[in-house]
Structure 1
Amino acid sequence: MEVVCDEFFQLPAADKMHLYSDDKSKPNRLFSGSTYKSSSTMYWMDCLRLTRNFPTADSISNWPDKPQMLREQTRGLGMELLQMVCEGMGLRPGYFDGDLTGGDMVLSVIRYPPCPDPSKTLGLPPHCDRNLLTLVLSGRVQGLEVFYNGDWIKVEPIPNSFVVNFGLQIEVIDH
Protein backbone atom coordinates (compact mmCIF):
# COMPACT_ATOMS: atom_id res chain seq x y z
CA MET A 1 0.00 0.00 0.00
CA GLU A 2 2.87 2.35 0.82
CA VAL A 3 4.38 1.82 -2.62
CA VAL A 4 1.02 2.43 -4.30
CA CYS A 5 0.50 5.70 -2.38
CA ASP A 6 4.02 6.87 -3.20
CA GLU A 7 3.39 6.04 -6.86
CA PHE A 8 0.32 8.26 -6.88
CA PHE A 9 2.08 11.31 -5.45
CA GLN A 10 5.02 10.83 -7.83
CA LEU A 11 2.75 10.96 -10.87
CA PRO A 12 3.15 14.01 -13.11
CA ALA A 13 0.86 16.92 -12.15
CA ALA A 14 -1.02 16.52 -15.44
CA ASP A 15 -2.15 13.01 -14.41
CA LYS A 16 -3.58 14.37 -11.13
CA MET A 17 -4.92 17.75 -12.32
CA HIS A 18 -8.55 16.60 -12.65
CA LEU A 19 -8.59 15.73 -8.93
CA TYR A 20 -7.34 19.06 -7.53
CA SER A 21 -10.11 20.89 -5.66
CA ASP A 22 -10.76 22.86 -2.48
CA ASP A 23 -14.50 22.05 -2.76
CA LYS A 24 -15.24 19.96 0.36
CA SER A 25 -18.49 18.67 -1.15
CA LYS A 26 -16.56 16.67 -3.77
CA PRO A 27 -16.20 13.07 -2.59
CA ASN A 28 -13.04 12.49 -4.62
CA ARG A 29 -10.42 15.20 -4.62
CA LEU A 30 -6.78 16.11 -4.13
CA PHE A 31 -5.97 19.14 -2.02
CA SER A 32 -3.21 20.78 -0.08
CA GLY A 33 -3.47 21.43 3.64
CA SER A 34 -1.11 24.37 3.31
CA THR A 35 -4.16 26.54 2.59
CA TYR A 36 -5.58 25.97 6.08
CA LYS A 37 -4.32 27.97 8.99
CA SER A 38 -4.98 27.96 12.72
CA SER A 39 -3.41 30.76 14.77
CA SER A 40 0.27 30.84 13.81
CA THR A 41 0.34 27.19 12.74
CA MET A 42 -0.17 26.21 9.10
CA TYR A 43 -1.35 22.72 8.14
CA TRP A 44 1.28 21.27 5.81
CA MET A 45 0.15 18.24 3.85
CA ASP A 46 -1.17 16.93 0.56
CA CYS A 47 -4.29 14.77 0.75
CA LEU A 48 -5.93 12.48 -1.76
CA ARG A 49 -9.46 11.86 -0.46
CA LEU A 50 -11.44 9.10 -2.13
CA THR A 51 -14.93 7.85 -1.31
CA ARG A 52 -16.39 4.52 -2.29
CA ASN A 53 -20.03 3.61 -1.81
CA PHE A 54 -20.92 0.07 -0.83
CA PRO A 55 -22.25 -2.30 -1.88
CA THR A 56 -22.09 -0.66 -5.35
CA ALA A 57 -18.60 -0.37 -6.77
CA ASP A 58 -19.37 2.07 -9.59
CA SER A 59 -18.45 4.98 -7.33
CA ILE A 60 -14.76 4.28 -7.94
CA SER A 61 -15.15 5.38 -11.57
CA ASN A 62 -14.01 8.85 -10.46
CA TRP A 63 -10.94 7.49 -8.69
CA PRO A 64 -7.54 7.99 -10.27
CA ASP A 65 -6.72 5.54 -13.06
CA LYS A 66 -3.12 5.35 -11.89
CA PRO A 67 -1.83 3.46 -10.05
CA GLN A 68 -4.36 0.68 -10.71
CA MET A 69 -3.56 -1.13 -7.45
CA LEU A 70 -5.02 1.82 -5.48
CA ARG A 71 -8.50 0.71 -6.51
CA GLU A 72 -7.84 -2.96 -5.87
CA GLN A 73 -6.16 -2.94 -2.47
CA THR A 74 -8.23 -0.55 -0.34
CA ARG A 75 -11.45 -2.47 0.42
CA GLY A 76 -9.71 -5.81 0.99
CA LEU A 77 -7.23 -4.38 3.45
CA GLY A 78 -9.91 -2.69 5.58
CA MET A 79 -12.14 -5.76 5.67
CA GLU A 80 -9.25 -8.05 6.58
CA LEU A 81 -8.38 -5.80 9.52
CA LEU A 82 -11.99 -5.73 10.70
CA GLN A 83 -11.99 -9.55 10.76
CA MET A 84 -8.89 -9.45 13.00
CA VAL A 85 -10.63 -6.89 15.24
CA CYS A 86 -13.60 -9.29 15.58
CA GLU A 87 -11.27 -12.03 16.72
CA GLY A 88 -9.39 -9.74 19.12
CA MET A 89 -12.60 -8.39 20.69
CA GLY A 90 -14.20 -11.82 21.00
CA LEU A 91 -16.95 -10.99 18.50
CA ARG A 92 -18.38 -13.51 16.08
CA PRO A 93 -16.64 -13.64 12.67
CA GLY A 94 -18.28 -11.21 10.25
CA TYR A 95 -19.75 -9.05 13.04
CA PHE A 96 -19.03 -5.89 11.05
CA ASP A 97 -20.51 -7.19 7.79
CA GLY A 98 -23.70 -5.48 6.68
CA ASP A 99 -24.86 -2.07 7.88
CA LEU A 100 -21.66 -1.07 9.65
CA THR A 101 -19.44 -1.72 6.63
CA GLY A 102 -22.11 -1.27 3.98
CA GLY A 103 -21.91 2.52 3.80
CA ASP A 104 -19.28 4.79 2.39
CA MET A 105 -15.62 4.04 2.74
CA VAL A 106 -13.36 7.06 2.80
CA LEU A 107 -9.71 6.70 1.95
CA SER A 108 -7.51 9.67 2.77
CA VAL A 109 -3.97 9.28 1.54
CA ILE A 110 -1.96 12.00 3.24
CA ARG A 111 1.57 12.96 2.33
CA TYR A 112 3.73 15.37 4.26
CA PRO A 113 6.01 17.10 1.76
CA PRO A 114 9.33 18.63 2.82
CA CYS A 115 8.75 21.89 4.67
CA PRO A 116 11.13 24.87 4.86
CA ASP A 117 10.20 25.56 8.51
CA PRO A 118 8.62 22.54 10.27
CA SER A 119 8.38 24.44 13.55
CA LYS A 120 5.53 26.52 12.07
CA THR A 121 3.52 23.66 10.60
CA LEU A 122 1.16 20.92 11.67
CA GLY A 123 0.00 17.95 9.58
CA LEU A 124 -3.55 17.80 10.90
CA PRO A 125 -5.31 19.49 13.81
CA PRO A 126 -6.45 17.43 16.82
CA HIS A 127 -9.60 15.52 15.89
CA CYS A 128 -11.66 12.37 16.50
CA ASP A 129 -12.31 9.84 13.78
CA ARG A 130 -16.05 9.18 13.53
CA ASN A 131 -15.76 5.95 11.59
CA LEU A 132 -15.02 2.35 12.57
CA LEU A 133 -11.40 2.20 11.60
CA THR A 134 -8.71 4.55 10.31
CA LEU A 135 -5.50 3.23 8.82
CA VAL A 136 -2.54 5.58 8.98
CA LEU A 137 0.41 4.58 6.87
CA SER A 138 3.32 5.51 9.12
CA GLY A 139 5.69 6.49 6.36
CA ARG A 140 8.89 8.17 7.33
CA VAL A 141 7.63 11.40 8.89
CA GLN A 142 7.39 11.83 12.64
CA GLY A 143 4.54 13.84 14.07
CA LEU A 144 1.55 11.57 14.66
CA GLU A 145 0.28 11.83 18.22
CA VAL A 146 -2.63 10.11 19.97
CA PHE A 147 -4.57 11.40 22.95
CA TYR A 148 -4.59 8.80 25.71
CA ASN A 149 -5.57 9.26 29.37
CA GLY A 150 -5.33 13.04 29.10
CA ASP A 151 -1.89 13.16 27.45
CA TRP A 152 -0.64 13.47 23.87
CA ILE A 153 1.67 10.54 23.10
CA LYS A 154 4.02 10.58 20.10
CA VAL A 155 3.75 7.62 17.75
CA GLU A 156 7.10 6.61 16.35
CA PRO A 157 6.83 5.73 12.65
CA ILE A 158 7.58 2.11 11.84
CA PRO A 159 8.56 1.52 8.21
CA ASN A 160 6.16 -0.60 6.14
CA SER A 161 3.39 -0.52 8.75
CA PHE A 162 0.02 1.00 9.48
CA VAL A 163 -1.17 2.65 12.67
CA VAL A 164 -4.72 1.42 13.28
CA ASN A 165 -6.97 4.00 14.94
CA PHE A 166 -10.31 2.87 16.26
CA GLY A 167 -12.99 5.46 15.60
CA LEU A 168 -16.00 6.50 17.63
CA GLN A 169 -18.22 3.79 16.07
CA ILE A 170 -16.06 1.01 17.46
CA GLU A 171 -16.09 2.60 20.92
CA VAL A 172 -19.88 2.16 20.96
CA ILE A 173 -19.51 -1.52 20.07
CA ASP A 174 -16.93 -2.03 22.83
CA HIS A 175 -19.27 -0.73 25.57
Structure 2
Amino acid sequence: MVTTMSSRVESLASSGILSIPKEYIRPKEELTSIGNIFEEEMKEEGPQLPTIDLKDIESEDKEVREKCREALKKAAMEWGVMHIVNHGISTELMDRVRVAGQAFFDQPIEEKEKYANDQASGKIQGYGSKLANNASGQLEWEDYFFHLAYPEDKRDLSIWPKTPSDYIPATSEYAKELRGLATKILSVLSLGLGLEEDRLEKEVGGIEELLLQMKINYYPKCPQPELALGVEAHTDVSALTFILHNMVPGLQLFYNDKWVTAKCVPNSIVMHIGDTIEILSNGKYKSILHRGLVNKERVRISWAVFCEPPKEKIILKPLSETVSETEPPLFPPRTFSQHIEHKLFRRSQEALEKKSVLPN
Protein backbone atom coordinates (compact mmCIF):
# COMPACT_ATOMS: atom_id res chain seq x y z
CA MET A 1 0.00 0.00 0.00
CA VAL A 2 1.43 3.33 -1.05
CA THR A 3 0.58 6.06 1.46
CA THR A 4 -1.71 8.67 -0.06
CA MET A 5 -1.40 12.41 0.31
CA SER A 6 -4.41 12.59 2.59
CA SER A 7 -2.64 10.40 5.14
CA ARG A 8 0.28 12.81 5.52
CA VAL A 9 0.25 14.42 8.94
CA GLU A 10 1.10 17.77 7.33
CA SER A 11 -2.12 17.59 5.22
CA LEU A 12 -4.12 16.75 8.32
CA ALA A 13 -2.55 19.59 10.33
CA SER A 14 -3.17 22.20 7.63
CA SER A 15 -6.78 21.11 6.99
CA GLY A 16 -8.04 23.23 9.89
CA ILE A 17 -9.05 20.36 12.19
CA LEU A 18 -9.60 21.30 15.84
CA SER A 19 -9.30 17.76 17.20
CA ILE A 20 -7.00 14.96 16.11
CA PRO A 21 -8.24 11.63 14.69
CA LYS A 22 -8.50 8.84 17.28
CA GLU A 23 -5.58 6.85 15.83
CA TYR A 24 -3.25 9.71 16.88
CA ILE A 25 -4.54 9.84 20.46
CA ARG A 26 -2.09 8.01 22.71
CA PRO A 27 -3.23 5.61 25.43
CA LYS A 28 -3.72 7.25 28.84
CA GLU A 29 -0.57 5.71 30.38
CA GLU A 30 1.59 7.41 27.70
CA LEU A 31 0.23 10.87 28.43
CA THR A 32 2.07 11.51 31.70
CA SER A 33 4.13 14.72 31.85
CA ILE A 34 2.84 15.99 28.53
CA GLY A 35 2.42 19.67 29.31
CA ASN A 36 3.13 22.73 27.20
CA ILE A 37 6.61 21.94 25.84
CA PHE A 38 7.68 25.63 25.89
CA GLU A 39 6.81 25.87 29.59
CA GLU A 40 8.48 22.49 30.25
CA GLU A 41 11.68 23.73 28.61
CA MET A 42 11.80 26.80 30.87
CA LYS A 43 11.76 24.78 34.11
CA GLU A 44 14.99 24.98 36.05
CA GLU A 45 14.29 22.47 38.82
CA GLY A 46 15.17 18.78 38.59
CA PRO A 47 17.87 17.00 36.61
CA GLN A 48 19.13 18.62 33.40
CA LEU A 49 20.54 16.86 30.36
CA PRO A 50 24.37 17.20 30.53
CA THR A 51 26.26 19.44 28.10
CA ILE A 52 29.68 18.04 27.16
CA ASP A 53 32.31 20.37 25.72
CA LEU A 54 34.53 18.43 23.28
CA LYS A 55 37.03 21.25 22.78
CA ASP A 56 39.75 19.36 24.69
CA ILE A 57 38.94 15.81 23.54
CA GLU A 58 42.30 15.59 21.74
CA SER A 59 44.28 18.14 23.79
CA GLU A 60 48.07 17.75 24.00
CA ASP A 61 47.76 18.25 27.74
CA LYS A 62 47.03 14.83 29.20
CA GLU A 63 45.24 16.17 32.27
CA VAL A 64 43.01 18.48 30.25
CA ARG A 65 42.29 15.71 27.72
CA GLU A 66 41.42 13.17 30.43
CA LYS A 67 39.05 15.60 32.15
CA CYS A 68 37.11 16.07 28.90
CA ARG A 69 37.00 12.32 28.17
CA GLU A 70 35.94 11.52 31.72
CA ALA A 71 32.99 13.94 31.43
CA LEU A 72 31.89 12.24 28.20
CA LYS A 73 32.20 8.77 29.72
CA LYS A 74 30.26 9.81 32.84
CA ALA A 75 27.40 11.25 30.75
CA ALA A 76 27.31 8.07 28.62
CA MET A 77 27.08 5.90 31.75
CA GLU A 78 24.60 8.01 33.72
CA TRP A 79 22.36 9.43 31.00
CA GLY A 80 23.24 7.85 27.66
CA VAL A 81 22.38 11.17 26.01
CA MET A 82 23.97 14.62 26.05
CA HIS A 83 24.30 17.96 24.26
CA ILE A 84 27.74 18.12 22.67
CA VAL A 85 29.34 21.52 21.94
CA ASN A 86 32.66 22.43 20.30
CA HIS A 87 32.26 19.21 18.32
CA GLY A 88 34.25 20.51 15.35
CA ILE A 89 31.35 20.84 12.88
CA SER A 90 30.94 24.45 11.77
CA THR A 91 27.80 26.43 12.56
CA GLU A 92 27.70 27.38 8.88
CA LEU A 93 27.50 23.73 7.77
CA MET A 94 24.85 22.89 10.38
CA ASP A 95 22.81 25.90 9.20
CA ARG A 96 23.10 24.75 5.58
CA VAL A 97 21.79 21.31 6.54
CA ARG A 98 18.86 22.89 8.40
CA VAL A 99 18.03 25.32 5.60
CA ALA A 100 18.16 22.58 2.95
CA GLY A 101 16.01 20.15 4.96
CA GLN A 102 13.44 22.81 5.78
CA ALA A 103 13.33 23.95 2.13
CA PHE A 104 12.47 20.38 1.09
CA PHE A 105 9.58 20.25 3.56
CA ASP A 106 8.42 23.78 2.60
CA GLN A 107 7.59 22.50 -0.89
CA PRO A 108 4.00 21.56 -1.80
CA ILE A 109 3.09 18.03 -0.76
CA GLU A 110 2.71 17.08 -4.46
CA GLU A 111 6.42 17.77 -4.95
CA LYS A 112 7.42 15.74 -1.88
CA GLU A 113 5.22 12.84 -3.01
CA LYS A 114 7.58 12.34 -5.97
CA TYR A 115 10.00 10.98 -3.35
CA ALA A 116 7.43 8.84 -1.52
CA ASN A 117 8.69 5.60 -0.05
CA ASP A 118 6.70 2.35 -0.02
CA GLN A 119 7.37 0.47 3.19
CA ALA A 120 5.11 -2.45 2.23
CA SER A 121 7.38 -3.30 -0.71
CA GLY A 122 10.55 -2.75 1.32
CA LYS A 123 11.36 0.62 -0.26
CA ILE A 124 12.05 2.42 3.03
CA GLN A 125 14.15 5.32 1.76
CA GLY A 126 12.33 8.50 0.82
CA TYR A 127 9.43 10.66 2.00
CA GLY A 128 7.01 8.97 4.36
CA SER A 129 4.73 8.96 7.36
CA LYS A 130 4.90 6.45 10.17
CA LEU A 131 2.74 3.41 9.58
CA ALA A 132 1.24 1.68 12.59
CA ASN A 133 3.86 -0.95 13.45
CA ASN A 134 2.14 -2.34 16.48
CA ALA A 135 -1.13 -4.01 17.29
CA SER A 136 -2.62 -0.92 18.92
CA GLY A 137 -2.69 0.80 15.51
CA GLN A 138 -1.41 4.02 17.08
CA LEU A 139 0.12 6.67 14.83
CA GLU A 140 2.72 9.35 15.49
CA TRP A 141 2.34 13.04 14.63
CA GLU A 142 5.15 13.27 12.09
CA ASP A 143 6.19 12.98 8.48
CA TYR A 144 9.81 12.29 7.58
CA PHE A 145 12.47 11.92 4.91
CA PHE A 146 14.84 8.98 5.29
CA HIS A 147 17.96 7.90 3.39
CA LEU A 148 21.40 6.37 3.79
CA ALA A 149 23.91 9.23 3.99
CA TYR A 150 27.29 7.47 4.38
CA PRO A 151 29.51 5.66 3.25
CA GLU A 152 29.40 7.46 -0.08
CA ASP A 153 29.68 4.28 -2.16
CA LYS A 154 26.56 2.78 -0.55
CA ARG A 155 24.19 5.73 -0.91
CA ASP A 156 21.61 6.17 -3.66
CA LEU A 157 21.64 9.83 -4.70
CA SER A 158 18.71 9.28 -7.07
CA ILE A 159 16.34 9.37 -4.10
CA TRP A 160 17.91 12.40 -2.39
CA PRO A 161 15.96 15.67 -2.88
CA LYS A 162 17.01 17.62 -5.99
CA THR A 163 15.39 20.75 -4.55
CA PRO A 164 16.88 22.74 -2.93
CA SER A 165 20.10 22.44 -4.91
CA ASP A 166 22.26 22.58 -1.75
CA TYR A 167 20.58 19.52 -0.19
CA ILE A 168 23.02 16.96 -1.64
CA PRO A 169 26.26 18.98 -1.09
CA ALA A 170 25.33 20.11 2.45
CA THR A 171 24.04 16.73 3.63
CA SER A 172 27.01 14.87 2.08
CA GLU A 173 29.54 17.12 3.78
CA TYR A 174 27.68 16.95 7.10
CA ALA A 175 27.52 13.12 7.01
CA LYS A 176 31.26 12.97 6.31
CA GLU A 177 32.02 15.29 9.26
CA LEU A 178 29.75 13.26 11.55
CA ARG A 179 31.55 10.08 10.52
CA GLY A 180 34.82 11.57 11.79
CA LEU A 181 33.12 12.70 15.00
CA ALA A 182 31.72 9.18 15.52
CA THR A 183 35.27 7.76 15.40
CA LYS A 184 36.42 10.24 18.08
CA ILE A 185 33.46 9.43 20.34
CA LEU A 186 33.81 5.67 19.89
CA SER A 187 37.52 5.82 20.75
CA VAL A 188 36.79 7.68 24.03
CA LEU A 189 34.02 5.18 24.88
CA SER A 190 36.43 2.30 24.11
CA LEU A 191 39.10 3.69 26.40
CA GLY A 192 36.42 4.24 29.04
CA LEU A 193 35.81 0.49 29.10
CA GLY A 194 39.54 -0.26 29.35
CA LEU A 195 39.65 -1.42 25.72
CA GLU A 196 41.96 -0.59 22.81
CA GLU A 197 41.09 2.78 21.33
CA ASP A 198 39.73 1.39 18.05
CA ARG A 199 37.92 -1.62 19.52
CA LEU A 200 34.32 -0.34 19.59
CA GLU A 201 34.63 1.09 16.10
CA LYS A 202 35.73 -2.34 14.81
CA GLU A 203 32.89 -4.01 16.70
CA VAL A 204 30.28 -1.84 14.98
CA GLY A 205 31.59 -2.35 11.46
CA GLY A 206 34.60 -0.07 11.06
CA ILE A 207 35.08 2.53 8.37
CA GLU A 208 33.64 0.34 5.58
CA GLU A 209 30.55 -1.07 7.24
CA LEU A 210 29.18 1.42 9.79
CA LEU A 211 26.16 3.03 8.09
CA LEU A 212 24.95 6.57 8.71
CA GLN A 213 21.20 6.81 8.12
CA MET A 214 19.67 10.30 7.92
CA LYS A 215 16.07 10.81 9.06
CA ILE A 216 14.59 14.29 8.93
CA ASN A 217 11.60 14.32 11.26
CA TYR A 218 8.91 16.90 10.47
CA TYR A 219 6.41 17.52 13.29
CA PRO A 220 3.56 19.80 12.13
CA LYS A 221 1.63 22.00 14.57
CA CYS A 222 -0.88 19.88 16.47
CA PRO A 223 -4.30 21.13 17.66
CA GLN A 224 -4.25 18.77 20.67
CA PRO A 225 -0.58 18.34 21.61
CA GLU A 226 -1.49 17.04 25.08
CA LEU A 227 -3.01 13.90 23.46
CA ALA A 228 -0.39 13.12 20.80
CA LEU A 229 3.27 12.19 20.44
CA GLY A 230 5.61 13.12 17.61
CA VAL A 231 7.60 9.98 18.37
CA GLU A 232 6.53 7.38 20.91
CA ALA A 233 8.84 6.34 23.75
CA HIS A 234 11.70 4.18 22.45
CA THR A 235 15.42 3.56 22.70
CA ASP A 236 17.56 3.91 19.55
CA VAL A 237 18.85 0.65 18.06
CA SER A 238 21.93 2.43 16.65
CA ALA A 239 25.48 2.54 18.01
CA LEU A 240 25.30 6.37 18.25
CA THR A 241 22.67 8.88 17.14
CA PHE A 242 23.44 12.53 16.38
CA ILE A 243 20.55 15.03 16.31
CA LEU A 244 20.27 18.59 15.03
CA HIS A 245 16.99 20.49 15.44
CA ASN A 246 15.45 23.84 14.56
CA MET A 247 15.60 25.11 18.18
CA VAL A 248 11.98 24.14 18.88
CA PRO A 249 11.89 21.98 22.04
CA GLY A 250 10.30 18.53 22.02
CA LEU A 251 12.80 15.91 23.19
CA GLN A 252 12.04 14.22 26.50
CA LEU A 253 14.22 11.65 28.29
CA PHE A 254 13.05 9.08 30.84
CA TYR A 255 15.61 9.60 33.61
CA ASN A 256 15.29 8.29 37.18
CA ASP A 257 11.65 7.29 36.53
CA LYS A 258 10.63 10.78 35.38
CA TRP A 259 10.28 12.50 32.02
CA VAL A 260 12.91 15.26 31.69
CA THR A 261 12.58 17.88 28.93
CA ALA A 262 15.78 18.70 27.05
CA LYS A 263 16.55 22.39 26.69
CA CYS A 264 17.61 23.82 23.33
CA VAL A 265 21.35 24.57 23.41
CA PRO A 266 22.59 26.76 20.52
CA ASN A 267 25.15 25.14 18.16
CA SER A 268 24.95 21.84 20.01
CA ILE A 269 24.31 18.38 18.61
CA VAL A 270 22.31 16.02 20.80
CA MET A 271 24.06 12.64 20.98
CA HIS A 272 22.43 9.40 22.09
CA ILE A 273 24.15 6.16 22.99
CA GLY A 274 22.13 3.48 21.18
CA ASP A 275 21.27 -0.13 22.03
CA THR A 276 24.27 -1.41 20.05
CA ILE A 277 26.79 0.27 22.39
CA GLU A 278 24.70 -0.60 25.45
CA ILE A 279 24.88 -4.28 24.44
CA LEU A 280 28.62 -4.26 23.64
CA SER A 281 29.37 -2.51 26.96
CA ASN A 282 27.12 -4.95 28.86
CA GLY A 283 24.92 -2.12 30.06
CA LYS A 284 27.74 0.12 31.31
CA TYR A 285 26.76 2.74 28.74
CA LYS A 286 23.03 3.51 28.69
CA SER A 287 20.58 3.62 25.80
CA ILE A 288 17.94 5.93 27.29
CA LEU A 289 14.19 5.78 26.69
CA HIS A 290 13.08 8.99 24.97
CA ARG A 291 10.16 10.46 23.05
CA GLY A 292 9.20 13.52 20.99
CA LEU A 293 6.47 15.97 21.96
CA VAL A 294 4.56 18.27 19.62
CA ASN A 295 2.99 21.72 20.10
CA LYS A 296 0.30 24.07 18.75
CA GLU A 297 2.49 27.04 17.88
CA ARG A 298 5.54 25.94 15.92
CA VAL A 299 6.63 23.26 13.49
CA ARG A 300 9.50 21.22 14.92
CA ILE A 301 12.10 19.65 12.63
CA SER A 302 14.94 17.41 13.74
CA TRP A 303 17.75 15.86 11.72
CA ALA A 304 18.68 12.49 13.23
CA VAL A 305 21.68 10.53 11.96
CA PHE A 306 21.79 6.94 13.17
CA CYS A 307 25.20 5.22 13.09
CA GLU A 308 24.27 1.58 12.57
CA PRO A 309 26.30 -1.63 12.33
CA PRO A 310 25.70 -3.90 9.30
CA LYS A 311 22.48 -5.89 9.68
CA GLU A 312 23.82 -9.44 9.45
CA LYS A 313 27.64 -9.41 9.50
CA ILE A 314 28.24 -8.87 13.20
CA ILE A 315 26.98 -10.69 16.26
CA LEU A 316 26.13 -8.13 18.92
CA LYS A 317 26.81 -9.34 22.44
CA PRO A 318 28.58 -8.05 25.55
CA LEU A 319 32.35 -7.93 24.92
CA SER A 320 34.22 -10.49 27.02
CA GLU A 321 36.16 -7.71 28.79
CA THR A 322 32.88 -6.24 30.09
CA VAL A 323 31.69 -9.52 31.59
CA SER A 324 32.76 -11.12 34.89
CA GLU A 325 31.38 -13.48 37.51
CA THR A 326 29.78 -10.57 39.32
CA GLU A 327 28.66 -8.96 36.03
CA PRO A 328 27.22 -11.72 33.83
CA PRO A 329 26.14 -10.90 30.26
CA LEU A 330 22.88 -8.91 30.28
CA PHE A 331 22.09 -9.49 26.59
CA PRO A 332 21.90 -12.65 24.42
CA PRO A 333 23.93 -12.76 21.17
CA ARG A 334 21.96 -11.37 18.21
CA THR A 335 22.66 -9.82 14.84
CA PHE A 336 21.58 -6.18 14.47
CA SER A 337 18.71 -7.39 12.30
CA GLN A 338 17.59 -9.88 14.98
CA HIS A 339 17.79 -7.17 17.64
CA ILE A 340 15.41 -4.94 15.62
CA GLU A 341 13.02 -7.88 15.04
CA HIS A 342 13.08 -8.71 18.75
CA LYS A 343 12.17 -5.12 19.68
CA LEU A 344 9.34 -4.92 17.15
CA PHE A 345 7.95 -8.28 18.25
CA ARG A 346 8.09 -7.29 21.90
CA ARG A 347 6.33 -4.00 21.18
CA SER A 348 3.57 -5.78 19.25
CA GLN A 349 3.12 -8.29 22.06
CA GLU A 350 2.84 -5.51 24.64
CA ALA A 351 0.26 -3.69 22.51
CA LEU A 352 -1.77 -6.90 22.10
CA GLU A 353 -1.71 -7.47 25.84
CA LYS A 354 -2.88 -3.92 26.47
CA LYS A 355 -5.68 -4.37 23.95
CA SER A 356 -6.88 -7.59 25.57
CA VAL A 357 -7.33 -5.92 28.96
CA LEU A 358 -8.98 -2.75 27.66
CA PRO A 359 -12.80 -2.65 27.77
CA ASN A 360 -14.37 -2.63 24.30
Output the TM-score relative to the length of structure 1.
Answer: 0.78
Computed over aligned residues only, the root mean square deviation of the Cα atoms, in angstroms, reads: 3.1
Correspondence 1:61 to 2:166: no
The question of whether the paired residues in 1 share the 8 Å contact of 2:237 and 2:276 is answered with yes
Considering fraction of residues, name the structure with more helix: 2
Question: Distance in 2 between the 1:15 and 1:40 partners?
Answer: 28
3-state SS in 2 of match to 1:82: helix
Question: Distance in 2 between the 1:14 and 1:121 partners?
Answer: 26
Question: Distance in 2 between the 1:146 and 1:53 partners?
Answer: 28
The question of whether the paired residues in 2 share the 8 Å contact of 1:41 and 1:120 is answered with no
Question: Distance in 1 between the 2:262 and 2:180 partners?
Answer: 23
The equivalent residue for 1:72 is: 172
Deviation string 1:23-68 (CA, Å, 9 cap, x unpaired) is 25213121234x6599797521121111257462453332222322
Deviation string 1:54-111 (CA, Å, 9 cap, x unpaired) is 4624533322223223541342132122133135323525852682451443211102
Structure 2 residue runs of 5 or longer lacking an equivalent are 1-96, 282-321, 323-360
The question of whether the paired residues in 2 share the 8 Å contact of 1:44 and 1:122 is answered with yes
Considering fraction of residues, name the structure with more strand: 1
Q: Which amino acid aligns with 1:122?
A: L
Q: Which amino acid aligns with 1:92?
A: E
Matches for 1:1-175 after TM superposition, within 5 Å: 1-21=97-117, 23=119, 25-33=122-130, 36=132, 42-52=139-149, 54=151, 56-66=153-163, 67-89=167-189, 90=191, 92=197, 96=201, 99-100=205-206, 102-174=209-281, 175=322
3-state SS in 2 of match to 1:84: helix
Deviation string 1:118-161 (CA, Å, 9 cap, x unpaired) is 12210111112111111222323322112234333221222443
Count of aligned residue pairs for this structure pair: 174
The question of whether the paired residues in 2 share the 8 Å contact of 1:141 and 1:157 is answered with yes
The question of whether the paired residues in 2 share the 8 Å contact of 1:146 and 1:155 is answered with yes
The question of whether the paired residues in 2 share the 8 Å contact of 1:45 and 1:112 is answered with yes
Q: 1:56 to 1:37 in 2, by over 3 A?
A: closer
3-state SS in 1 of match to 2:215: strand
Question: Distance in 1 between the 2:210 and 2:153 partners?
Answer: 10
Structure 1 residue runs of 5 or longer lacking an equivalent are none
Question: Distance in 2 between the 1:145 and 1:58 partners?
Answer: 31
Structure 1 stretch displaced more, 94-103 or 48-57: 94-103
Identity rate of aligned residues, in percent?
24
Larger radius of gyration: 2
The question of whether the paired residues in 2 share the 8 Å contact of 1:60 and 1:71 is answered with no
